[in-house]
Amino acid sequence: MGLMEYFVRTMEKHKESTRGFSAEIPYSGLRKAADEAKRKVLESDPAIMLQADACFRNRNQVMTKYRCWINERGEFHEQTLV
């Protein structure tokens, strides 16, 4: 069995928005994808309240394994999902 291919997707954190900010770029592992997600959020303008997810596809479903975001107070948060 090969390595799982992950990708990072970014969007505005607040619920009214579904605006995406970047194309899905593949990464060879969760660590690389999570590091890239974190980098994108930390380098973004805090006013955007960017959220980035490290995900993989399982058939026709997208499974998120790591999420990080900037909240309304400009604070960085991260969460590993199972």
Per-residue pLDDT tens digits for 56-78: 998 889 999 999 999 989 899 99
Residue 18 pLDDT > 80, yes or no? no
- Specify the pTM: 0.84
Q: Which domain holds residue 63?
A: 6-80
pLDDT at 23: 80
Q: Is residue 1 part of a domain?
A: no
Return the beta strands (E) in the chain as ranges: 6-12, 25-27, 50-58, 61-70, 76-80
Q: 59-73 in b/e burial notation, b at 16+ Cβ within 10 A?
A: eeeeeebbbbbbeee
- The single residue listed with the structure tokens 């607040």 is 14
Rounded Cα distance, 65 and 27, in Å = 13
Largest CA distance in the chain: 43
pLDDT at 45 over 70: yes
Number of domains the chain is built from: 1
